[in-house]
């Protein structure tokens, strides 16, 4: 298939692009960057690279080359969105979090609707933050939306994706914490743990719903290729863990102690309300993965850490 990829040049895209290419798909990348960032050099041959206006920092509007690329696409993967938990949640940053997701997705679905033959499938990102936070509930795809800021953002994000053309199959992946050594939460924790100063963040009792990066990429590939995939699917491994277990397991994997907790007040000082993402977790599982005959290769945390930290292919 000819696939159009949006927001796929970061943590997930670095593994997703080679996987899609090795499966025989032709790729057009939409990016604000004029050159690839962190992609294996062997992946660059044959890629079409469509650059957005660099001044447009939050969204893209299809015009010219973009509109032509979309018209030629049989499938679209939209992972666009500013990182959630890397900065303080000022009013300006909250607006950026929303606009980078909603405006991009709205522009995309509107442009798709104007095509005589829209793409066959749209795989759109969402997040497990949709469910809100809880210390004791276990959330499935059928669970209701939460009531906090992040849950509201995810709900509006998914609603924007629903504006796709009727002929386009929609798969919304509610993604958990993506484990990879070169970015994301694990990438930030590894240097600290490797020198022996790692430990749980906050109380350690909050739930961590995670997925190893290659499993997420396999899930996106399956969603693109398999017509049985539609609607909401939780992109998480089947074994969520508490932060205390997450930290202890990472310490054992690296052969380092994991005894020094990161105090919640310090994290709140650094991230403001954004600290809630890591201080108040949610236990998320998937009832739909089994129905779709999808099984994570890395269903247990030790194997996922080994894959993330020891293999360049992940």
280 lies in a domain?
no
163 lies in a domain?
yes
145 lies in a domain?
yes
pLDDT per residue as tens, the chain (314 positions): 999 999 888 899 999 999 999 999 999 998 766 555 566 656 666 677 776 654 444 455 656 677 888 999 999 999 988 888 777 778 888 888 898 899 989 989 999 999 999 999 999 999 999 999 998 999 999 999 999 989 999 999 999 999 999 999 999 999 999 999 998 888 888 888 888 878 888 888 999 999 999 999 999 999 999 999 999 999 999 999 999 999 999 999 999 877 777 777 766 666 666 667 778 889 999 999 999 999 999 999 999 999 998 854 44
H helices of 73-174, in order, are: 91-113, 149-161
3-state secondary structure of 282: coil
293 lies in a domain?
no
> Where does residue 192 rank: exposed (0-12), middle (13-18), buried (19+ CB within 10 A)?
middle
> Where does residue 72 rank: exposed (0-12), middle (13-18), buried (19+ CB within 10 A)?
middle
Positive or negative torsion for Cα 196, 202, 203, 206: negative
- Contact status, residue 252 vs residue 302, Cβ threshold 8 Å: yes
Q: What is the pLDDT of residue 280?
A: 83
220 lies in a domain?
yes
| Number of domains comprising the chain | 1
pTM of the full structure = 0.91
- First-to-last CA distance in the chain? 23
Mention every residue, 6+ apart, whose C-beta is less than 8 A from residue 220.
Answer: 12, 16, 77, 123, 173
Q: How far apart are CA 178 and CA 192, in angstroms?
A: 18
- Contact status, residue 285 vs residue 139, Cβ threshold 8 Å: yes
- Report the CATH number at residue 157: 3.40.50.720
22 lies in a domain?
yes
Range of the domain at 45: 2-177+212-236
166 lies in a domain?
yes
Mention every residue, 6+ apart, whose C-beta is less than 8 A from residue 45.
Answer: none
| DSSP one-letter code for 43 | G
113 lies in a domain?
yes
């Amino acid at each position: 298939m000819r696939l159009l990829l949006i927001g796929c040049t970061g943590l997930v895209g670095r593994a997703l692009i080679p996987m899609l290419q090795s499966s025989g798909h032709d790729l057009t990348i939409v990016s604000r960057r004029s050159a690839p960032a962190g992609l294996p050099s062997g992946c660059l041959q044959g890629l079409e690279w469509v650059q957005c206006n660099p001044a447009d920092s939050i969204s893209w509007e299809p015009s010219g080359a973009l509109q032509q690329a979309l018209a030629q696409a049989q499938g679209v993967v939209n992972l666009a969105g500013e990182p959630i938990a890397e900065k303080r949640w000022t009013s300006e940053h909250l607006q950026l979090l929303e606009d980078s997701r909603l405006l991009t997705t709205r522009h995309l679905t509107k442009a798709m609707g104007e095509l005589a033959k829209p793409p066959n499938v749209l795989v759109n990102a969402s997040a497990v933050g949709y469910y809100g936070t809880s210390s004791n509930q276990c959330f499935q795809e059928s669970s209701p939306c939460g009531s906090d800021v992040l849950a509201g953002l995810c709900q509006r994000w998914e609603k924007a994706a629903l504006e796709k053309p009727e002929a386009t199959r929609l798969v919304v992946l509610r993604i958990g914490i993506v484990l990879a050594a070169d970015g994301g939460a694990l990438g930030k924790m590894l240097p600290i743990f490797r020198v022996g100063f790692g430990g749980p963040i906050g109380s350690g009792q909050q739930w961590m719903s995670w997925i190893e990066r290659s499993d997420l990429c396999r899930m996106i590939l399956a969603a693109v290729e398999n017509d049985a995939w539609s609607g909401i699917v939780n992109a998480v491994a089947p074994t969520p863990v508490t932060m205390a277990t997450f930290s202890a397991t990472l310490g054992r994997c690296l052969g380092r102690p994991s005894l020094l907790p990161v105090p919640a007040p310090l994290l709140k000082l650094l991230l403001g309300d954004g600290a809630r993402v890591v201080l108040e977790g949610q236990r998320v599982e998937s009832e739909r993965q089994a129905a779709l005959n999808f099984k994570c290769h890395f269903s247990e945390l030790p194997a996922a850490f080994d894959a993330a930290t020891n293999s360049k292919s992940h």
